[in-house]
Chain A
Amino acid sequence: MTPFSRRDFHRIAAGGAAGLALAAAAGRTGAARPPFRVFMIQWRGDTDADRGMMDYLRRAGVEVEFTARDAAQDKAKLAAIVAEAKQARPDLIYAYATEAVLGVVGPVGGDAGRFVTDIPVVFAAVGDPVASNIVPSLDHGGRNLTGVIHLPPIPVQFEALNSFFAPKRLGLLYNSAESYGVGAVRQFQDIAGKADIEIAVETCVDAKGEPQEELIPPALERIAARRPDALYLPSTSFFLPLARPITAKALDLGMPVFSPNEQMMRQGSALAGLVASLNAVGEFAGYKIEQILVRGVAAKDIPIEYLSRFSLLVNMRVARRVQVYPPVTMLRYAELVDAS
């Protein structure tokens, strides 16, 4: 038998390496797959969260073909969009806002035939998925979904509000037609009660349970009559387009507003609020989408999470007008709007 020389070994090794490289290249070519298909369900048109999500996936090099549908805050329209999504069989559904998510996946224990159960869902901008009955608890309860909570927890919001105003009495206006509002108000009342803060609560829904813009001013007047130190507006999509008139009316009635929605301070005349950047919320949702599509992690195995950072926004124009200023210690970390 011919002995196995060193030269033979090198030749075989070189040939093997080249073969492996070719096979790997062929594998890559063979693995090239069509872009992932993501069905986007919006609740009130394009938002910073949607843009943040798309930007993240683009930066991460994930090729995605988006199909976007806007429910325009209309539940009937939402049902048709969900039906379309079920028929389109995308790789993943992205949904923005609590009502859109509930329309897609239904409440816990809902009719599996009516809602999406076999396509992973990633949500952004849901205030309280447990109180909204999207999941039984933050560890999902086995549902095929995950997402990002865009609001600071209610106790954290209360703490910020309390540090700012040190109130004895508070007003609270909310949209009882939205599931987040109901849970948030209940939690807020509990905490305020323990801190011996009296709360004047009003809602703006009619007898049919629908929120009505024209019901807002009288509700604010009823609250103002109780002479609260500040007005808290829990997050609701219904209030966002009305940021200017609601906050202006509240100010006219002598009630500085505290809100977890950025628009209220930037576009409206809310005095302060603890807010999350919607762009960051979208980016975080994009990361979760990448985990599911690229890394193959099941949606139910990805935690539903809060953002780890929030910003305290203070509108100094409003502060000067109502002569209510943040404590000196808050100035160290607050972001001041209209400071000059």
Chain B
Amino acid sequence: MSQPAGVAALRRIRWHVLIAAIGGLLIAGIGSTILVAERQYRELPVVLAAKQLAIATLLGHEIEQAVAVGIPLDKLRGLDDLYKEARRDNPEIGYIAFTDAAGRVVATQGRSIPPTVELLALERTPPGSAPRLGDAGGFSTVAVPVAAASGGAAIGDIFVGIDPDHIRRLIKDRLFDVVTVLVVTAICAVELVLLLLDYGITGPLRSLESWGAEVLAGELRPPRRAFGFRELHDLLRATARAAAPPGSGDGAKSRVPGGGVVPWQLMVRFIRVGLFLFVLGDTMSSSFLPIFARDLATPFWGLTRDFLLSLPVVVYWLISAIAQLFGPPLMERYSHRALFVAGVGFSAAGMAGAALAGDFPTLLAARGLAGLGLGLAFMTCQAAILTHVPKELRTLGIATFTGTFFLATFCGTALGGIAAQQLGFRGALVLSAAVVLICGAFVIGTLGGSRERPMQKVAAAAAGAPAGNSYLRLARNGSFASLLLFCAVPNRMFNVAFLLYLAPLYLFSLGDTKAEIGRVVSLYGIAMAILAPALAAQVDRRKLQRASVVVGSLICALGALAVLLDREHGILIAVATMGIGQAMSVPSQMSLIPALSGRQIANMGLPRVMSVFRVGERLPAFLGPMVAASLAGAFGFERAIAAFGAWVAASAVILALVLRASRAKQESPAE
């Protein structure tokens, strides 16, 4: 379909502005990253050397004090514990050693201790001097002499070496954080620039363009007063009034079917930004919530600790699914704005409640509120996008929704990990509540022009209420039920169990920092955000939905088995393959529904069939963390993840057989 010249020009303008803005931002960002990296490499060793010297001096003082109260050097006890404590508090220290005046090693503690000859050859740092570093066994080491009393005879030397691996990891972590912030900033900037462009330029110009088209079609009436370019609007209104036949006035307004002040493209932009902000705030706690819950969990009702830890995720998902059960009646009664704002309110209250929670039941209640908020906001956004996007562009609408959801999930998870590292868990939760509230303010300000109500009434009148046994007939549809039971449910349960429970706790048990956990878990979101729209387009074009759901599930399942082979990288592979696999299978599930349940759609309407599928998929998801907790408690994290993978794989094989049989049935001439 060829586009009007105006639309093409607008698109060009948008691209130019976007490229200029993002290009500038990225250049500045990359420049700052390089500066930060350079500074890290330059300054970190200096800071660490000063710290090394301080630790060595303090440890030396402990020995001096012991000797001063009459403890002979050869009778000193507890040096091992002292050094162990110092290393625990300062993980960058690779080893600590103490040698006596004769050069004999008295006590050591560390990963690997350099040979004594290398230690003794090091230059000593005199008291009050800058640290003099030397290399011993690959460790950057400071050597400090210990004297009997101030100015007394030398007792020996303390050696403190910095672990080079730890330093590399520290710098890598910081760089990752900077890059993550850079990427998230770029994504947020794109959203903001597009919003401003659509609000300030594209939207008003589209209004004028459609007015121009009406004028060309012979309908000479003043353009609707909108926003932006007010002077131009006023001028055109005045011109139109002057040129219009007497008595025509502004009455032409009512002749525009479904005419609204805000063009649908801009309305979709508003919904997209609202959804982005909401999901950003909501997912900020994803990476650390199980760890936060662990701090608060105290046994009650005889429940096991593993089971307790799964409850915050369980409650959140269960309530978000239940909230969606009430979607259709709520949608008929309340506006999108009202429902979205209600979702924001519940979500913000949930985040703030979790931040203030002093005990586990309060945390559970707070997560329940957040789940209710997510359920309301999720279904409202989906419905709002489908309402505003023209029918022929609904695939684009679903892609917009999915893309935005996962883009925001990536940003939220990554930022949440960094926020938890910097502000603590409670601080990060307060921040997420603030982001959700900003979303609420945005939604109140922008969704007022939504035109969903008249459209819904038209749709409701056309569809009519479904017959009582329609749901039963849908449940008896073997292909629909198989898609739900052997693809949607296992994938969703595994997704919730893995990303919100197993992966964070497993990575934490391996010693990963909160930011590292956030980064790994956020890989899923970025894979979904990038791949889902691209793969969906290919799948639609080649009509490969059936193959896509099966192959996607299998990729997801095989990745999960990687944790059995490699502890370090297995989890990374599992998260990435889940992102790739579900980017293939999730959008295809939605596309398959009309093909698999044509009769029921004719009877009940597509929205209700979709709603049954969505709720049927999400409702059992709450069991995911509970099953995960039980499996992890009994068999360990790796086997629990692999067990989920095996289940998803087996389900995919069954689904493949069912879909093959259903296609054969469809193609059979007897049918």
Chain A interface (Cβ within 8 Å of chain B)? 316, 319-320, 323, 325-332, 336, 339-340
Chosen A-B contacts, 21 in total, with CB atoms closer than 8 Å, are A316-B70, A319-B71, A323-B75, A325-B71, A325-B77, A326-B78, A327-B78, A328-B62, A328-B63, A328-B66, A328-B78, A328-B81, A328-B82, A329-B78, A329-B81, A329-B82, A329-B85, A330-B78, A331-B62, A332-B62, A339-B70
Residues from chain B with Cβ under 8 Å of A332 in the complex: 62
CB <8 Å contact, B69 and A327? no
Tell me the B436-490 residues at the A interface (CB within 8 Å).
Answer: none
Shortest Cβ distance from residue B88 to the other chain A in the assembled complex, whole angstroms: 13
Q: How far is the CA of A93 from the CA of B537 in the complex (A)?
A: 90
Residues from chain A with Cβ under 8 Å of B65 in the complex: 331
Interface centre among B66, B77, B81 (most CB of A within 10 A): B77
Shortest Cβ distance from residue A141 to the other chain B in the assembled complex, whole angstroms: 27
Q: Is residue B79 contacting chain A, with contact meaning CB distance below 8 A?
A: yes
Residues from chain A with Cβ under 8 Å of B79 in the complex: 328
Q: Kindly report which residue of chain B lies nearest to residue A338, judged by CB atoms.
A: B70
CB <8 Å contact, A325 and B76? yes
Which one, A325, A327, A336, contacts B81 given CB within 8 A?
Answer: A327
Q: How far is the CA of A325 from the CA of B66 in the complex (A)?
A: 9
Cβ proximity bits B55-99 to A, threshold 8 Å, 1 near / 0 not: 000000011011001110001111101100100000000000000
Residues from chain B with Cβ under 8 Å of A325 in the complex: 66, 71, 75-77
Closest 4 CB pairs of A and B: A327-B78, A328-B78, A325-B71, A327-B77
Tell me the B546-571 residues at the A interface (CB within 8 Å).
Answer: none
Shortest Cβ distance from residue B357 to the other chain A in the assembled complex, whole angstroms: 28
Q: Kindly report which residue of chain B lies nearest to residue A320, judged by CB atoms.
A: B70
Residues from chain B with Cβ under 8 Å of A323 in the complex: 75
Cβ proximity bits B386-420 to A, threshold 8 Å, 1 near / 0 not: 00000000000000000000000000000000000
Q: Kindly report which residue of chain B lies nearest to residue A334, judged by CB atoms.
A: B69
Q: How far is the CA of A331 from the CA of B63 in the complex (A)?
A: 10
Q: Kindly report which residue of chain B lies nearest to residue A330, judged by CB atoms.
A: B78
Q: How far is the CA of A327 from the CA of B69 in the complex (A)?
A: 12
Q: How far is the CA of A210 from the CA of B305 in the complex (A)?
A: 52
Interface centre among A329, A331, A340 (most CB of B within 10 A): A329
CB <8 Å contact, A331 and B70? no
Shortest Cβ distance from residue A334 to the other chain B in the assembled complex, whole angstroms: 9
Residues from chain A with Cβ under 8 Å of B70 in the complex: 316, 319-320, 339-340
Q: How far is the CA of A328 from the CA of B63 in the complex (A)?
A: 7
* B interface secondary structure, majority: helix
Residues from chain A with Cβ under 8 Å of B66 in the complex: 325, 328, 331
Q: Kindly report which residue of chain B lies nearest to residue A339, judged by CB atoms.
A: B69
Residues from chain B with Cβ under 8 Å of A339 in the complex: 69-70
Shortest Cβ distance from residue A34 to the other chain B in the assembled complex, whole angstroms: 48
Residues from chain B with Cβ under 8 Å of A340 in the complex: 70
Q: Kindly report which residue of chain A lies nearest to residue B75, judged by CB atoms.
A: A325
Residues from chain A with Cβ under 8 Å of B76 in the complex: 325, 328
Q: Kindly report which residue of chain B lies nearest to residue A165, judged by CB atoms.
A: B77
Q: How far is the CA of A316 from the CA of B82 in the complex (A)?
A: 21
Shortest Cβ distance from residue A336 to the other chain B in the assembled complex, whole angstroms: 6
Residues from chain B with Cβ under 8 Å of A336 in the complex: 69
Q: How far is the CA of A330 from the CA of B76 in the complex (A)?
A: 11
Q: Kindly report which residue of chain B lies nearest to residue A336, judged by CB atoms.
A: B69
CB <8 Å contact, A328 and B77? yes
Q: Kindly report which residue of chain B lies nearest to residue A164, judged by CB atoms.
A: B77
Q: How far is the CA of A295 from the CA of B24 in the complex (A)?
A: 73
Q: Kindly report which residue of chain A lies nearest to residue B78, judged by CB atoms.
A: A327
Interface centre among B69, B76, B82 (most CB of A within 10 A): B69
Residues from chain A with Cβ under 8 Å of B81 in the complex: 327-329
Q: How far is the CA of A224 from the CA of B82 in the complex (A)?
A: 32
Shortest Cβ distance from residue B419 to the other chain A in the assembled complex, whole angstroms: 36
Shortest Cβ distance from residue B359 to the other chain A in the assembled complex, whole angstroms: 23
Which one, B69, B75, B85, contacts A331 given CB within 8 A?
Answer: B69
Q: How far is the CA of A103 from the CA of B482 in the complex (A)?
A: 81
Shortest Cβ distance from residue A189 to the other chain B in the assembled complex, whole angstroms: 26
Residues from chain B with Cβ under 8 Å of A329 in the complex: 78, 81-82, 85
Q: Kindly report which residue of chain B lies nearest to residue A163, judged by CB atoms.
A: B78
Q: How far is the CA of A316 from the CA of B77 in the complex (A)?
A: 15
Shortest Cβ distance from residue B40 to the other chain A in the assembled complex, whole angstroms: 34
Q: How far is the CA of A3 from the CA of B432 in the complex (A)?
A: 64
CB <8 Å contact, A316 and B62? no
Residues from chain A with Cβ under 8 Å of B63 in the complex: 328
Residues from chain A with Cβ under 8 Å of B71 in the complex: 319, 325
Shortest Cβ distance from residue A319 to the other chain B in the assembled complex, whole angstroms: 8
Residues from chain B with Cβ under 8 Å of A328 in the complex: 62-63, 66, 76-79, 81-82
Q: Kindly report which residue of chain A lies nearest to residue B85, judged by CB atoms.
A: A329
Residues from chain B with Cβ under 8 Å of A331 in the complex: 62, 65-66, 69
Q: How far is the CA of A340 from the CA of B68 in the complex (A)?
A: 8
Q: How far is the CA of A140 from the CA of B303 in the complex (A)?
A: 32
Residues from chain A with Cβ under 8 Å of B78 in the complex: 326-330
Shortest Cβ distance from residue A230 to the other chain B in the assembled complex, whole angstroms: 14
Q: How far is the CA of A328 from the CA of B75 in the complex (A)?
A: 10
Shortest Cβ distance from residue A257 to the other chain B in the assembled complex, whole angstroms: 19
Interface centre among A320, A325, A328, A332 (most CB of B within 10 A): A328
Q: Kindly report which residue of chain A lies nearest to residue B71, judged by CB atoms.
A: A325
Q: How far is the CA of A336 from the CA of B66 in the complex (A)?
A: 11
Q: Kindly report which residue of chain B lies nearest to residue A329, judged by CB atoms.
A: B78
Known: A328-B76, A339-B70. 8 other contacts (CB 8 A): A323-B75, A325-B66, A326-B78, A327-B78, A328-B62, A328-B77, A336-B69, A339-B69
Q: How far is the CA of A42 from the CA of B75 in the complex (A)?
A: 44
Q: How far is the CA of A155 from the CA of B138 in the complex (A)?
A: 45
Shortest Cβ distance from residue B609 to the other chain A in the assembled complex, whole angstroms: 63
Shortest Cβ distance from residue B312 to the other chain A in the assembled complex, whole angstroms: 34
Residues from chain B with Cβ under 8 Å of A320 in the complex: 70
Shortest Cβ distance from residue B483 to the other chain A in the assembled complex, whole angstroms: 58
Cβ proximity bits B224-264 to A, threshold 8 Å, 1 near / 0 not: 00000000000000000000000000000000000000000
Q: How far is the CA of A323 from the CA of B71 in the complex (A)?
A: 9
Q: Kindly report which residue of chain A lies nearest to residue B81, judged by CB atoms.
A: A329
Q: How far is the CA of A340 from the CA of B70 in the complex (A)?
A: 7
Q: Kindly report which residue of chain A lies nearest to residue B77, judged by CB atoms.
A: A327
Tell me the B71-130 residues at the A interface (CB within 8 Å).
Answer: 71, 75-79, 81-82, 85
Residues from chain A with Cβ under 8 Å of B82 in the complex: 328-329
Shortest Cβ distance from residue B125 to the other chain A in the assembled complex, whole angstroms: 22
Residues from chain B with Cβ under 8 Å of A327 in the complex: 77-78, 81
Q: How far is the CA of A326 from the CA of B75 in the complex (A)?
A: 9
Q: How far is the CA of A142 from the CA of B76 in the complex (A)?
A: 51
Shortest Cβ distance from residue A192 to the other chain B in the assembled complex, whole angstroms: 20
Q: How far is the CA of A162 from the CA of B286 in the complex (A)?
A: 44
Interface centre among A319, A325, A332, A336 (most CB of B within 10 A): A325
Q: How far is the CA of A307 from the CA of B377 in the complex (A)?
A: 55
Q: Kindly report which residue of chain A lies nearest to residue B62, judged by CB atoms.
A: A328
Q: How far is the CA of A330 from the CA of B63 in the complex (A)?
A: 12
Q: Kindly report which residue of chain B lies nearest to residue A314, judged by CB atoms.
A: B69
Tell me the B283-339 residues at the A interface (CB within 8 Å).
Answer: none
Residues from chain B with Cβ under 8 Å of A319 in the complex: 70-71
Q: How far is the CA of A328 from the CA of B82 in the complex (A)?
A: 7
Shortest Cβ distance from residue B92 to the other chain A in the assembled complex, whole angstroms: 22
Shortest Cβ distance from residue A161 to the other chain B in the assembled complex, whole angstroms: 14
CB <8 Å contact, B75 and A316? no
> Given A328-B76, A328-B78, A329-B78: A316 and B85 within 8 A (CB)?
no
Q: Kindly report which residue of chain B lies nearest to residue A328, judged by CB atoms.
A: B78
Q: How far is the CA of A330 from the CA of B65 in the complex (A)?
A: 12
Shortest Cβ distance from residue A338 to the other chain B in the assembled complex, whole angstroms: 9
Q: How far is the CA of A80 from the CA of B114 in the complex (A)?
A: 75
Q: How far is the CA of A329 from the CA of B79 in the complex (A)?
A: 8
Q: How far is the CA of A196 from the CA of B77 in the complex (A)?
A: 21
Q: How far is the CA of A336 from the CA of B71 in the complex (A)?
A: 12
Q: How far is the CA of A319 from the CA of B72 in the complex (A)?
A: 11
Shortest Cβ distance from residue A48 to the other chain B in the assembled complex, whole angstroms: 26
Q: How far is the CA of A332 from the CA of B66 in the complex (A)?
A: 10
Tell me the B527-547 residues at the A interface (CB within 8 Å).
Answer: none
Q: How far is the CA of A69 from the CA of B69 in the complex (A)?
A: 44
